[in-house]
């Protein structure tokens, strides 16, 4: 008999900029999915990149989530039994995972320079997986490795990817199967400058925090087989997945931090109310017949992944979203 684990979802922003409308879309759907199941929601700051992460952005993220009415049960400002909830304070845990993978023969050092890797840019890409890594350093002899290190090359650490397909049932996309070769081959777990890669950090965190439900954008779909491989190799149970259609501008471009006019801070300064943002996004998700001012909990009765399955892969906002938001009343 299958025992259904209590739902543990997460919001996992990167404090590399201010939250924008696209972030609000993803976090609202993640909040609804978790709260609909009566789950526990974790807020985790994914500040693994020291060059881009800023404490000011982390503080702004907390402020913006609270402004939207999205609460959490564990994380910054709440504490909890699975802390710390900031990746920069969890580096020892990632180092332990790397050592375990290395001891089992699952990793190898890669000495390819950025210039050499850029030459792969013309190779076929799969979604956002990037160009495939051809395994240049996979089977280097000890002598060759020593020569490269003597020449000043600092290696990154790559996973020696298992030669198998990984399959899962996505709550929106349905059955999905992909080999790691199709995802780009052996991928980096730690950069040559010592910074731990996203793929490793997120799996260690989800595993140790007991996350059972991951709701995120469709752009991360091709990351899932990589993460399933790491869950398996590290002995963690994988979560369920729900990959959302992307919220895009009127031209179909994915909303990003370069869309400064659509940051929540800018919208707030323009007089947009949080209830208008929630109602607007609820209408875009097909949860409302018309965009009306709403608190997040008011969308819970209507939330159903089946409604999201009916959406296009790219959900477009208006050319003048500020006027559209101002009309929500």
Residues at the annotated binding site for L-glutamate? 10-14, 46, 198, 216
User: Is-cis flag, bond preceding 227, omega within 30?
Assistant: no
Which residues on neighbouring strands pair with residue 43, listed in sequence order?
A: 11
Contact indicator for 179, 166 with CB cutoff of 8 Å: yes
Which residues on neighbouring strands pair with residue 214, listed in sequence order?
A: 241
Structure tokens at 174: 């349905």
Place of tokens 């501008």: 249
Which residues on neighbouring strands pair with residue 242, listed in sequence order?
A: 215
Distance CA 178, CA 182 (A): 7
Place of tokens 């659509």: 262
Catalytic residue among 36, 115, 257, 284: 257
Annotated binding-site ranges for ATP: 257
Annotated binding-site ranges: 10-14, 46, 110, 112, 133, 137, 198, 216, 257
Distance CA 290, CA 292 (A): 6
Distance CA 174, CA 179 (A): 17
Q: Which residues, 6+ apart, have CB-to-CB distance to 40 below 8 Å?
A: 6, 7, 8, 9, 34, 73, 74
Q: Is 179 exposed, middle or buried (0-12, 13-18, 19+ CB in 10 A)?
A: middle
115 is annotated as an active-site residue: no
Contact indicator for 224, 69 with CB cutoff of 8 Å: no
List active site positions.
257
């Amino acid at each position: 008999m299958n025992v259904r684990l209590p739902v543990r979802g997460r919001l996992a922003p990167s404090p590399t900029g201010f939250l924008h409308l696209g972030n609000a879309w993803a976090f609202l759907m993640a909040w609804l999915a978790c709260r609909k199941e009566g789950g526990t929601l974790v807020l985790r700051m994914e500040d693994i990149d020291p060059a881009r992460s800023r404490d000011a952005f982390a503080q702004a993220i907390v402020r913006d989530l609270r402004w939207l009415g999205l609460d959490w049960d564990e994380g910054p400002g709440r504490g909890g039994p699975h802390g710390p909830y900031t990746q920069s304070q969890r580096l020892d845990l990632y180092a332990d995972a790397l050592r375990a993978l290395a001891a089992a023969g699952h990793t190898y050092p890669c000495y390819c320079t950025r210039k050499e890797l850029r030459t792969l840019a013309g190779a076929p890409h799969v979604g956002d997986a990037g160009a495939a890594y051809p395994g240049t350093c996979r089977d280097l002899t000890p002598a060759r490795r020593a020569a490269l290190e003597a020449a000043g090359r600092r290696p990154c650490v790559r996973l020696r990817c298992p030669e198998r397909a990984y399959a899962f049932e996505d709550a929106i996309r349905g059955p999905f199967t992909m080999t790691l070769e199709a995802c780009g081959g052996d991928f980096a777990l730690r950069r040559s400058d010592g910074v731990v890669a996203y793929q490793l950090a997120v799996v260690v965190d989800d595993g140790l925090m007991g996350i059972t439900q991951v709701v995120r954008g469709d752009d991360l779909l091709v990351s899932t087989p990589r993460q399933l491989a790491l869950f398996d190799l590290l002995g963690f149970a994988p979560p369920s997945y729900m990959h959302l259609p992307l919220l895009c501008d009127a031209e179909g471009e994915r909303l990003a931090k370069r869309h400064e006019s659509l940051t929540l801070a800018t919208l707030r300064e323009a007089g947009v109310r949080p209830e208008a943002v929630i109602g607007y996004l609820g209408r875009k998700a097909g949860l409302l017949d018309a965009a009306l001012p709403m608190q997040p909990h008011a969308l819970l009765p209507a939330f159903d992944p089946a409604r999201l399955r009916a959406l296009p892969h790219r959900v477009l906002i208006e050319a003048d979203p500020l006027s559209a938001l101002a009309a929500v009343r």
